[in-house]
Structure 1
Amino acid sequence: MNISQEKVDNLNTVVKINLNPADYQPRVEKAIKEQAKKAKISGFRPGMVPTAHIKRMYGKSILVDEINNMLSDTLNKYLEEEKLEVLGQPLPKHEDDRKEYNWDFADDFEFNYEIGLAPEFDIDFTSKDQITQYTIKADEETLAQRVKSIRRAYGKMTNPDVSADDDVLYSELVQLSPDGSVFEDGISNTASVRLDLIKDEAIKASLIGLKKGDEVMLDIQAAYGNDAAKIAGVLKVDEETAADLKSNFKLTVKNVNRLEEADLNQEFFDKLFGEGTVTTEEGFREKITEEVETMMQQDSERKLQNDIYNYSLNKTQFNLPDEFLKRWLKATNEKLTEEELESGYNDFAKNLKWTLIANKITKDGNIDIKYDEVFNYAKMSLDQQFRAYSQQSLPEEQLAQYTVQYLQNKEQANKIFEEVKAVKVFDYVKSVITLDKKEILFTDFNKLED
């Protein structure tokens, strides 16, 4: 066997593997013998099928399989020994497809593989690198919305005679024909129409002041801003049907529901925070402000991570073997069209560059990722998922058992590992660069570009 490398440039190389009969025949003969022991063929006792018979019947397919296995083993070992950092996977060169072999156990074979190489680059983060870290403060409008939401969540349902802003119309919706008549065999459904979700102000105004039994015509696409998911939820149809709807609907009010806001009294405060923890409206607002700004801190951290991501890409300039990577993407995604490849390649390349940068930071910064860190991160993620469905948290022992089971799935474990690595990489960069800390109102923060 002979294996050699022909470097095309710093990002592309070709590995050539030459096999002669002496290289592959021992493996093929061994595979034929093993097949003979297991074969069940009419006229022969189990385990007594002559190897010559197996070779005559299945020899070529066994030869192909063994050579493919041999090529894979040989190539992987070569890449490891040569310490080549490969992007994607090696691709057989097209001219190899045109070579004709007899496959008669006496051929000399030559296989060529295109390989894309990771670029060499340096990362030099110092305290001179500066990125803004925002401390988000809650504005009055955001606080008012949060207070209203909480008071409504603990409020009581009433049924006023006439609808007002933010009410819910329990209604029958019936699809109409273009002439305004009821569409035969059309869509009909009884649903709760929340006025706070209506996007079109004119339509929303037409739904205010309605009584039980009133009818109005509803342009459902305009009402929900062409949001297929919301329309599908109201009409109980699939999103594709909702997106294609052109019809108006007749809305008949069956009931007006109103959620009255809870009073700001001690009973309400105790339900929210525990007995005696909050005793005044001022204390209530302080608690809500603290809660809102804690949630906003997550937005600030996401913004900071995104800014570090973009700053790193701009600061660390290097090329990728783009043409090779495009061929590799096409080879591994048969349904990928040229248009999809071209439109999505830049995002793919950015994410790949960030992966290389993160790996470099991990190596140069001696960042170690321990199993306990992966386990605790997975446990925290699972706890958050469970809390989304139940206010009562799982017992610690049970949560730990779920985490162990979760990490036994290799794909899930790798995902958590990468998330932990990303967090540690961002933390490392934050410890090296200068963070310019600024306070900003939530409304102004939302206007910032990512």
Structure 2
Amino acid sequence: MNISHQKVDDVNANIQVELTPEDYTPSVDKAIKDQAKKAKLPGFRPGMVPVGHIKRTYGKAILFDEINKLVNDKIAAYIGENKLEVLGQPLPADNDADAVYNWDFKDTFNFTYEIGIAPEFETPFSKETAFTAYDIKADEATLTERVKNLRRSYGKMTNPEVSEDGDVLYATLKQEKEDGIENTASVRTDIIEDAKIKKALVGLKKDDTVKIDVKKAFKVADAARILGINEESFENLDVTKFELTVKNINRLEESDLDQEFFDKLFPAGEVTKEEDFTAKVKEEVENLFKQNSDQKLRNDIYAFGMDNVDVKFPEAFLKKWLKATNPNISAEELEEGFADFLSNLKWTIIENRIVTTNNLEVKYDEVINLAKERIYAQIKMYNINEEPSDEQLNQFAMQLLQDREQANRLFEEAKALKVFDYLKENVTLNAEEISYVDFEKLEK
């Protein structure tokens, strides 16, 4: 067998494969014998079909399949041995379709495959590259809001006589026109966008009525839900004034800051005083802020890398490959999504170049641990007091990784974390303390 590749330009190449009968005959003969052992054909006992009969009947199809397997395996091995950083997968060249073969087990086959090559570039990160690592501090307003939300999450529902801001009104809304829309639903006063309308819904009692303009009061999705119609119908309303009649007032009272409340949030007896509770909440909030800070740093590193790596791609080849692997995609859809595809591909090859250049390795244990972290976070989301054992997390993680799509996603996430950790150690990070309010302004 002869196999070689030839560059067309910096990002395109062809792989040529020549197969002689000596190359493919052993595997084809073996496949025919295996088929004879398994074949169940009329007039023959199971496993006793003559090899010659199989060769006459199915020989060309077997030959075709075996040559395809052989060529694909050899090309994959060649790419690995020659360390070719290919994009997509090899595609048969158009001129291969013109080749004519007898398929009589004597042909010498010549195949040409097109490949896309990752562009050459230097990664732009070094100790001279500086980024800001923000240390986000929780301000009083943020802590107060977090405590309020926690107390409301574990509070109790009451039905006061008079409405206040933040209550939920169970009310009927009737359009001010003959045969107009009428629907009864829960109306959260905290989602009302117009200050005057929100004020008008404070101080109401059961059976009180007030007129509101629903287009001023609600966002489209909220209004459509409350009125029991779809968003398009809401957008086309000719009359937007509705009469709102209160049927009931619901209020979620905040939980008391007592031991029962503390034990719902933390292991029993761990928190016994309000100041300890506040300190725990501050720690929790600032840990969440650490995630925000890391995400900001990731975004800044990503933007710097994308701006400072100037490369070209084998665009014609990539479009051909995308069409071959997604035959139902239209030309318009392909063009619409192609810029985003190239953007994602660019960052992927930057990450891959950092991995290969610096001999980084994603280990299986790291993928397992990442899976366990994600599962643990999901469990705690639904039950803050549940503490799964390490054995349980291992079992859940192994089950998750049985799904190839999930396993690939976690591997890619582990690789991205590995690259991020490497870059944090090999660029300059300037620490800067900042309030959450000011940090939010950076994001806008």
TM over 0.5: yes
SS in 2 for 1:437: strand
Residues 139, 442 of structure 1: 8 Å contact kept: yes
Q: 2:290 aligns with which of 276, 291, 297?
A: 297
Give the secondary structure class of the aligned counterpart of 2:246: strand
Cα gap change, 1:25 to 1:363, in 2 (>3 Å): closer
| TM value normalised by structure 1 | 0.84
- The 5 A counterparts of 1:228-239 are none
Question: 1:191-239 CA deviation, whole Å, 9 max, x = no partner?
Answer: 4332212345455455444433456677767654223xx56876789xx
SS in 2 for 1:375: helix
Q: Does 1:435 align with 2:429?
A: yes
**What is the aligned partner in structure 2 of residue 91 from structure 1?**
91
Please show how residues 179-198 of structure 1 align to structure 2 within 5 Å. Answer: 179-181=177-179, 191-198=185-192
- The structure-2 alpha-carbon separation of the partners of 1:404 and 1:51, relative to structure 1 and needing over 3 Å to count, comes to closer
In the TM superposition, what is the alpha-carbon distance from 1:402 to its structure 2 partner?
A: 2.0
The aligned counterpart of 1:211 is 205
Q: Note closer, same or farther for the CA distance 1:365–1:141 as it changes in structure 2 (3 Å cut).
A: same
1:160-179 alignment runs, 5 A limit = 160-171=160-171, 179=177
Structure-2 residue corresponding to 1:109? 109
Aligned to 1:407: 401
Stretch moving more, 58-67 or 429-438: 58-67
> Structure 1 residue 77 and structure 2 residue 80: aligned?
no
Percent identity of the aligned residues? 52
SS in 2 for 1:448: helix
Structure 2 letter corresponding to 1:440 = I
Distance 1:254 1:116, change over 3 A: same
Corresponding residue number in structure 2 for 1:381: 374
1:369 is matched with which residue?
362
Residue 321 of structure 2 is aligned to residue 328 of structure 1:
yes
Secondary structure of the residue that 2:396 maps to in structure 1?
helix
CA displacement 1:303-353 (0-9 Å, x = unmatched): 111111222222333333232222212221223333333333233223222
Residue type of the alignment partner of 2:417: V
Contact 1:200 1:225 in 2 (8 A): no
Report the alpha carbon displacement of residue 123 of structure 1 after superposing the two structures with TM: 2.9
8 Å Cα contact 2:192/2:198 also seen in 1: yes
What is the CA deviation profile of residues 10-63 of structure 1, one whole-angstrom value per residue up to 9, with x for unaligned ones? 211011223344443443343233222222222222233334433343333223
**Which residue of structure 2 lines up, in the alignment, with residue 357 of structure 1?**
350
1:245-264 mapped onto 2 (5 Å cutoff): 245=234, 246=236, 252-262=245-255
Contact 1:203–1:218 (CA under 8 A) maintained in structure 2: yes
User: Which ranges in structure 2 are unaligned for 5 or more consecutive residues?
Assistant: none
Q: What residue in structure 2 maps to residue 444 of structure 1?
A: 438
Choose the corresponding residue for 2:414, options 420, 434, 438.
Answer: 420
Cα distance change of structure 1 residues 198 and 412 upon mapping to structure 2, 3 Å threshold: same
Please report the TM-score for the alignment, with normalisation by the length of structure 2.
0.85
Q: State the distance in 2 between where 1:312 and 1:367 align.
A: 18
The equivalent residue for 1:125 is: 125
8 Å CA contact 1:167–1:257 kept in 2: the answer is yes
What amino acid maps onto 1:181 in structure 2? D
Question: Greater CA deviation, 258-267 or 353-362?
Answer: 258-267
Structure 1 counterpart of 2:43: 43
Q: Paired residue for 2:305?
A: 312
Structural RMSD (CA):
3.4
Q: Distance in 2 between matches of 1:155 and 1:23?
A: 76
The verdict on how the C-alpha distance between 1:213 and 1:4 changes in structure 2, with shifts beyond 3 A counting, is: same
Amino acid at match of 2:79: L
After superposition, the Cα gap between the structure-2 partners of 1:374 and 1:77, relative to the gap in structure 1 and judged at 3 Å, is closer
CA distance 1:269–1:383, shift in 2 (3 Å): closer
SS at match of 1:157: strand
Structure 1 gap segments, 5+ residues each: none
Number of aligned residue pairs: 438
Q: 1:151 offset after TM fit, Å?
A: 3.1
Describe the shift of the 1:284–1:63 C-alpha distance in structure 2 as closer, same or farther (beyond 3 A): closer
1-structure distance, mates of 2:264, 2:38: 71
The amino acid across from 1:406 in the alignment is L
Q: Which residue of 2 aligns with 1:155?
A: 155
* 1:281-292 pair list within 5 angstroms: 285-292=278-285
Between 1:352-361 and 1:296-305, the stretch displaced more is 352-361
Q: 1:366 and 1:236, CA in 2 relative to 1: closer, same or farther beyond 3 A?
A: farther
Matching of residue 27 in structure 1 with residue 27 in structure 2: yes
Distance 2:255 2:67 in 1: 75
Partner of 1:394: 388
Residues 25 and 373 from structure 1, CA distance in 2 versus in 1: closer, same or farther, beyond 3 angstroms?
closer
C-alpha deviation, 1:268, in angstroms: 5.7
When residues 276 and 32 of structure 1 are mapped into structure 2, their CA distance, relative to the original with a 3 A threshold, is closer
Q: SS of the counterpart of 1:163?
A: coil
Q: Letter of the 2:424 partner, please give it.
A: K
What is the Cα deviation at residue 88 of structure 1?
Answer: 0.9
Whether the aligned pair in 2 keeps the contact of 1:39 and 1:49 (CA below 8 Å) is yes
> Does the 8 Å CA contact 1:41/1:49 hold for their aligned counterparts?
yes
Asked if 2 retains the 8 angstrom alpha-carbon contact of 1:407 and 1:413, the reply is yes
Aligned equivalents of 1:166 and 1:18: distance in 2? 76
Q: Aligned AA for 1:117? A: I
Name the CA distance, whole Å, in 2 between partners of 1:83 and 1:270. 58
